[in-house]
Amino acid sequence: MKVLITGGAGFIGSHVADAYLAQGAAVVVVDDLSSGRRENLDRQARLVEMDIRRPEVVGLIASERPDVVNHHAAQIDVRRSVADPGLDASINVLGALNVLEGARAAGVSRFVYASSGGAVYGEPVELPCREDHPIRPICPYGATKHALEHYLEMYFTLYGLPYSILRYANVFGPRQDPFGEAGVVAIFTAKMLAGEELVVNGDGEQTRDFVYVEDVARANLLATQLGQACGTFNIGTGVATSINQVFDHLRRATGYRPAPAHGPAMHGETRHIYLDCRQAAQVLGWRPEVDLAEGLGRTVESLRVAGASHA
């Protein structure tokens, strides 16, 4: 099997690449390295450095003729999407359409799409959110991520292109860049290890569903194996964890002593969200295996080692 992964040098995408390689797949990565890193990639993966907004992406994918296209390349920063919705749409809709057109031209057997299990739902009307929860994004990022889901449904209807949509919860783990468009775990861990002041947005009682990156990578493998069936799956733990709880876990793991400072809540961010993942369990046979404490411990150790290697 040959798999082409867009954004495959990034945090999540590189773990997905590793998972496919471990299964014996040939892996081609398309990444412009704007946030991804060459060093994230296993030597067995072949990197093509290219922005998905370039029209040449269509011909590249068609010429590679992968069996599977796995689409992770995206603008992922909620705050940036609010500040510049045009940029967000140019990458997450127009760029993604280039990838989808390339997949159609290549005649791929499966398109796996990394969507958002938080941003597309907006402020939940019921918890945990199931896949049939109303779609009410409150930021441009959520709107653009959901837009491609409609295109995937349409491409299946028009061209018979099977798809798997994975709506991720808050993914964390090794390789998450604490200095880029990072999640709270990477930012907190880096600041704690450096002994720097740490600012929590709002009161810290906002809750998220934190899922470990290796569990997410395994979900991608399973989502590739659906034959001609299509599906949309929440990928999370089904557990609500507050930002203050994450802070306490990480403080114990790092030995950090200061209390956090509190800043204003961030505009466009959901207050409480966690996901119902029973559909992934029933259809894909997927369940998270790494709990929060273990995953946070692994993340702290990976950043500690990375910091020591750069010292």
Q: What is the pLDDT of residue 66?
A: 98
Per-residue model confidence as pLDDT tens digits over 178-236: 875 568 999 999 999 999 999 999 999 999 999 999 999 999 999 999 989 999 999 99
Whether residue 3 has pLDDT greater than 50: yes
20, 141, 163, 274: the active-site residue: 141
Do residues 236 and 277 lie in contact, with contact meaning Cβ atoms separated by under 8 Å?
yes
Interatomic CA distance for residues 280 and 200, integer angstroms? 32
Catalytic residue at 113? no
Coil, strand or helix at 90: helix
Do residues 44 and 110 lie in contact, with contact meaning Cβ atoms separated by under 8 Å?
no
Q: Which two tokens stand for residue 221?
A: 């493998």
Q: What is the pLDDT of residue 183?
A: 86
Q: What is the pLDDT of residue 265?
A: 87
Per-residue model confidence as pLDDT tens digits over 109-142: 999 999 999 899 999 999 999 999 999 999 999 9
Domains of the chain with CATH codes: 2-171+213-235 (3.40.50.720), 172-208+239-275+290-309 (3.90.25.10)
Interatomic CA distance for residues 87 and 34, integer angstroms? 14
Q: Calculate the alpha carbon distances from 223 to 227, 229, 305 in Å.
A: 10, 10, 32
Interatomic CA distance for residues 175 and 170, integer angstroms? 15
Per-residue model confidence as pLDDT tens digits over 145-154: 999 999 999 9
Per-residue model confidence as pLDDT tens digits over 296-311: 999 999 999 886 544 4
Exposed, middle or buried: residue 217 (CB in 10 Å: 0-12, 13-18, 19+)? buried
Per-residue model confidence as pLDDT tens digits over 46-105: 999 999 999 999 999 999 999 999 999 999 888 899 999 999 999 999 999 999 999 999
State percent of the chain over pLDDT 90.
89
Confidence class for position 239, pLDDT limits 50, 70, 90: very high
E strand segments, the chain:
2-6, 26-31, 46-49, 68-71, 110-116, 163-168, 170-172, 199-201, 207-208, 210-212, 231-235, 241-242, 261-263
Whether residue 168 has pLDDT greater than 50: yes
| Closest C-alpha among 169, 174, 159 to residue 117 | 169
Do residues 261 and 199 lie in contact, with contact meaning Cβ atoms separated by under 8 Å?
yes
